[in-house]
């Protein structure tokens, strides 16, 4: 091959290499810009989720304040009656040491109950960023203690399966799971009241198999219309009046269970109502 031919071939190869280098630089720039944009979108989504979580917690706090009002009403009435009875006993000369000790015991028991309620409320809203091993049944018990008087006043019978399976423990965010339980109970409560169901009940059941630990929440509210059942976990989707719901409770429940605790949450209709099932891998 002549020298001119070698030179032409070298120039062509150099031109091709130059074009390839320019193409690679352009692709690298595109990838960099896409990565920056993706990072910005992820930060934006993360901020939106933080706002949603805060909104959900504020909504849950309103519900819990209502529960505390119900929790405190009965012990306050008891203390009020004890004080009135003590004054009456004094007027009739029955105010002896034994009587005072009995009254003191009853008053202190009710005050302790009220104090424990406040502790439960405060613990409910503590941020728990660190995953810990906890019993899902104990968490449900804690939420139901706060929910007891309100459900009783509303004539809602909350039944929980009696279990002795101590191994029903999971590694996760305990307080966030409490929020999920509260969201599901409130969702059922709202449906039962909105539809004026005569026999109002919520049944909580635990189960496990080789691979999963499950907890289900079933109600007697008549179920979810088939045309919207696939939408109820979407953000801001709600069938409630604007002063009754924001549409983020079930969305945040799904986010907490699936994104933060590696579980799954699903819903289906039964013959009587709706049934939510949460599953955690062992």
pLDDT band at 17 (very low <50, low <70, confident <90, very high): low
Tokens (6 digits) for 100: 């005072």
Tokens (6 digits) for 108: 């202190």
Q: What topology does CATH give the domain 128-282?
A: Heat Shock Protein 90 (3.30.565)
Residues 22-78: tens digit of each pLDDT = 776 776 677 777 767 767 676 666 666 666 666 666 666 666 666 667 667 767 877
In the chain, where are the structural domains located? 128-282
Between the alpha carbon of residue 178 and those of residues 40, 104, 135, 218, the distances in Å are: 31, 34, 11, 17
Exposure pattern of 104-125 as b/e (b: 16+ CB <10 Å)? eebbeebeeebeebeebbeebe
Q: Which of 75-79, 80-84, 213-217 has the lowest mean pLDDT?
A: 75-79
| Confidence (pTM) | 0.64
pLDDT greater at residue 223 or residue 99: 223
Tokens (6 digits) for 20: 């390839």
């Amino acid at each position: 091959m002549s020298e001119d031919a070698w030179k032409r071939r070298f120039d062509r190869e150099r031109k091709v290499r130059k074009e390839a280098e320019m193409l690679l630089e352009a692709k690298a720039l595109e990838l960099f810009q896409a990565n920056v944009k993706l990072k910005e979108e992820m930060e934006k989504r993360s901020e939106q989720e933080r706002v949603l979580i805060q909104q959900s917690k504020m909504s849950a706090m309103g519900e819990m304040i209502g529960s505390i009002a119900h929790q405190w009403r009965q012990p306050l009435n008891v203390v009020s009656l004890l004080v009135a009875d003590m004054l009456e006993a004094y007027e009739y000369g029955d105010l002896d040491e034994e009587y005072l000790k009995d009254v003191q015991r009853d008053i202190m028991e009710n005050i302790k109950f009220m104090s424990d309620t406040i502790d439960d409320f405060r613990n409910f809203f503590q941020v728990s960023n660190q995953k810990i091993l906890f019993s899902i049944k104990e968490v449900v018990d804690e939420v139901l203690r706060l929910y007891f008087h309100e459900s009783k006043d509303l004539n809602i019978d909350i039944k929980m399966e009696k279990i002795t399976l101590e191994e029903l423990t999971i590694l996760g965010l305990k307080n966030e799971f409490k929020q999920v339980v509260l969201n599901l109970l409130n969702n059922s409560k709202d449906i039962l009241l909105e539809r004026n169901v005569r026999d109002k009940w919520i049944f909580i059941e635990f189960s496990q198999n080789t691979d999963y630990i499950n907890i289900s929440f079933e109600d007697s509210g008549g179920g979810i219309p088939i045309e919207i059942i696939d939408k109820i976990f979407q953000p801001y989707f709600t069938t409630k009046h604007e002063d009754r719901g924001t549409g983020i409770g079930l969305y945040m429940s799904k986010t907490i269970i699936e994104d933060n605790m590696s579980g799954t949450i699903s819903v289906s209709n039964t013959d009587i109502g709706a049934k939510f099932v949460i599953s955690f891998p062992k």
